[in-house]
Amino acid sequence: MENEILISVQELSRLYGDQHAIENVSFNVHRGEILGFLGPNGAGKSTTMQIICGVLAANHGSVSIAGYDINESPQQAKEHIGFLPEQPPLYDDLTVDEYLIYAGKLRGIEKDAIAEAVELSKERCGLENSGSRLIQNLSKGYKQRVGIAQAIIHSPAVIILDEPTSGLDPIQIREIRELMLELSEDHSVILSTHILSEVQSLCDRVMIINQGQIVLDKTMEQLQNDSDKTDHIEIALHNPPALEELLNIEGVASAESNHKDILRINFIPDTDATEAIVEKAATEKWGLYKLNPRDSSLESIFMQLTYGDGTPPAEEQTDNE
Amino acid sequence: MNNVFLIAGNELRRLFKSPLAWVILATVQFLVAIFFYLLLSQYMQPASAGTGLTEVVVSGMYQISGVVILMVSPLLTMRLITEERRLGTIKLLYSSPISITELVAGKYLAMSVFYILILAMISLMPASLLFGTQLDLGQIASGLIGLILLTSSFAAIGLFISSMTKQASTAAISTFGVLFLLWIINIAGTNASETTAAIFSYLSLLKHYTNLLNGVFNSTDVLFYIFVSLFFILLTIWRLDAERTHG
């Protein structure tokens, strides 16, 4: 059961006009997995999520949820989906209770089970005392909670949350995190976010999407291992030698002088010349006063993969959704 | 089928939570009451001796009701789909295990129920005449069925136009334009050739309604309205389905 595939996405493509919003996206999500979906605005995150939930149709490719194809048997597939879009889908003239009862019935909960399901999802989202309040009078954070409550009310196998923590304060974010960890025990969760630390603390697996294509799909563990391996260091010297001297050190592939007297030294793949450089600096009295190992945090991976060089591009075309 | 009732129930609940439903009920009732009073006092004049009470007062009132409802109908139907889009709740509906057909049928059903409520309210006025006199109940029934069919086609047309736009006000104006055009289209054909005139007059929503009002229960008139409703319901379903693929 542990490795059962709950979401299977195969070669998904979607066009807006002649532009590919997403192109040839494939991945699987297993039961118990929390997948973090990262990408700059307009990269295709929301589009992918909406296609998985059946809100949009794909131009090519297939999605199956808990074994049911979303196009061939949408009814069965959608019973297993809980979806929170970017903007929580709320009727602001209903009370929280009325809304959740309606959402629960829409999702196919039986009449006798509905009261219990509403209570449970309210409890999980911290809405116990808000049942009779009108949704339009709620704060943004509470609206977001109601949005999450409707997504989990029918206890779906697959929970898809588009930026679930936007608009929440840090305490609420922590509560939501705990909720998601609790949910992930026997569900699959996909969540998209801009907040990288959230992915690091919450997800088992990270996927970065850029310009409609998946550019990274790794488990948190793999990422951790990668960051232990370094392929360059940055050093600062009081008496820097000529660059050629550095190149003579075994294992150094290239060296370049950065701004503020910082030297970036790239290693030949699979070697680590850090020690040799430090030794040389000591014997030659270069005056080594700073040494930064490669910064391989998720943030720098994200920057590299999405912007190429680590600097955001000038004003690009905004979200087309 | 449960889902259709679920959608319709939610639509009606939200309609009656807003002042709009009550204001529309009150306005229609008030305007129709004025006409009812005028028609009744006209009938009481000695000059109109020999005409039928049902024909002058009841049919006259129903005829006017059709026009009044035509004018308020766009305000009722404009928000059917546009508001789901504005609130983002359309994504809740699309990601739920209900089909687009059920969604559209539910919306249409909710509107039809609301129109039947309006008609029940205004029918109380002619019903009060039963205390003092006799009416041709057959003709009234025929007229009422005509009005139900007519308003159902308003609902279907309004629903379709609401599914085409993002803004409620755009939907309202367009719906009003289309309904009004279909109402008066038979006038457009009066100076044209005989065939053209026949086509235009057949397309007119008014023409078929007048027959029913006069107590002429013709199945082609009934089928005309059923066809119009089904046609626009189907268009709405196609439209929403296409939006998932191309929108």
Look at residues A184, A59, A85 and name the one whose alpha carbon lies nearest to residue A143: A85
Residue B180 token pair = 């009004």
Round to whole Å and give the CA distance between A33 and A186.
Answer: 9
Looking at chain A, the whole-number percentage of residues with pLDDT higher than 90 is 27
Of A200 and A57, more confident: A57
Chain position carrying tokens 């820097």: A240
pLDDT at A293: 67
Quick one: pLDDT band at residue A264, thresholds 50, 70, 90?
confident
Looking at chain B, the whole-number percentage of residues with pLDDT higher than 90 is 61
Contact A79 B97 (CB under 8 A): yes
Find the closest chain A residue to B91 by CA distance.
A55
Look at residues A149, A207, A208 and name the one whose alpha carbon lies nearest to residue A183: A149
Look at residues B156, B66, B150 and name the one whose alpha carbon lies nearest to residue B107: B156
pLDDT at B156: 96
Round to whole Å and give the CA distance between A119 and A100.
Answer: 9
Residue A87 token pair = 């903007």
- A183 neighbors A177 (Cβ within 8 angstroms): no
Quick one: pLDDT band at residue A218, thresholds 50, 70, 90?
confident
Mean pLDDT estimate for chain A: 83
Assess whether pLDDT exceeds 50 at residue A310.
no
Quick one: pLDDT band at residue A316, thresholds 50, 70, 90?
very low
Residue A114 token pair = 């509905």
State whether residue B94 sits within 8 Å of chain A by CB: yes
Look at A110-119, A181-190, A303-312, B176-185 and tell me which has the smallest mean pLDDT. Answer: A303-312
Contact A56 B244 (CB under 8 A): yes
Among candidates A53, A91, A150 on the partner chain, residue whose Cβ is nearest the Cβ of B87: A91
Give contacts of A59 with chain B, Cβ < 8 Å.
245
| CATH class of the domain at A231-295 | alpha beta
The parts of chain B modelled with pLDDT lower than 50 are none
Contact B88 A92 (CB under 8 A): no
Q: What is the pLDDT of residues A83-105, one digit of tens each?
A: 999 899 999 999 999 999 999 99
Contact A87 B88 (CB under 8 A): yes
Contact B92 A89 (CB under 8 A): yes
B92 to chain A, minimum CA–CA distance in Å? Answer: 6
Assess whether pLDDT exceeds 80 at residue A282.
yes
Round to whole Å and give the CA distance between B151 and B235.
Answer: 18
pLDDT at A243: 77
Round to whole Å and give the CA distance between A206 and A52.
Answer: 17
Name the H helices within chain A: 45-52, 74-79, 96-106, 114-124, 140-152, 170-183, 196-202, 220-228, 243-247, 274-283, 298-307
Quick one: pLDDT band at residue A275, thresholds 50, 70, 90?
confident
A233 to chain B, minimum CA–CA distance in Å? Answer: 48
Domain boundaries in chain A? 5-219, 231-295
Q: What is the pLDDT of residues B118-159, one digit of tens each?
A: 999 999 998 888 888 888 888 888 889 999 999 999 999 999
Round to whole Å and give the CA distance between A174 and A182.
Answer: 12
Find the closest chain A residue to B13 by CA distance.
A94
Q: Whole-model pTM?
A: 0.84
B101 to chain A, minimum CA–CA distance in Å? Answer: 13
Assess whether pLDDT exceeds 80 at residue A230.
no
Angle between helices B137-164 and B100-129 (to 10 degrees): 150
Cα angle, residue A254 at apex, residues A312 and A301 outer, rounded to 5°? 30
> What kind of fold does domain A5-219 have according to CATH?
Rossmann fold (3.40.50)
Residue A281 token pair = 């600096």
Residues of A with CB under 8 A from a CB of B: 50, 53-57, 59, 74-76, 78-79, 81, 83, 85, 87-94, 98, 102-103, 105-108, 150
Contact A53 B14 (CB under 8 A): no
Round to whole Å and give the CA distance between B69 and B144.
Answer: 13
A88 to chain B, minimum CA–CA distance in Å? Answer: 7
Q: What is the pLDDT of residues A16-52, one digit of tens each?
A: 888 888 888 999 998 888 899 888 888 888 899 999 9
Mutation choice for B interface testing from A53, A106, A154 by most B CBs within 10 A:
A106
Residue A243 token pair = 């660059």
B198 to chain A, minimum CA–CA distance in Å? Answer: 43
Cα angle, residue B81 at apex, residues B75 and B83 outer, rounded to 5°? 75
Kindly list the distances between the CA atom of residue A164 and the CA atoms of A8, A173, A189, B47, B96, in Å, as whole numbers in the listed order.
Answer: 22, 9, 11, 74, 19
Assess whether pLDDT exceeds 80 at residue A317.
no
Domain boundaries in chain B? 2-246
Q: What is the pLDDT of residues A149-176, one digit of tens each?
A: 999 999 899 999 998 887 777 887 888 8
* Three-state secondary-structure class, residue A210: strand
Residues 9-28 of B with CB under 8 A from A: 10, 13-14, 17-18
Kindly list the distances between the CA atom of residue A211 and the CA atoms of A38, A56, A158, in Å, as whole numbers in the listed order.
Answer: 12, 18, 25
Q: What is the pLDDT of residues B34-65, one digit of tens each?
A: 999 999 888 888 776 667 788 888 888 998 99
Looking at chain A, the whole-number percentage of residues with pLDDT higher than 70 is 91
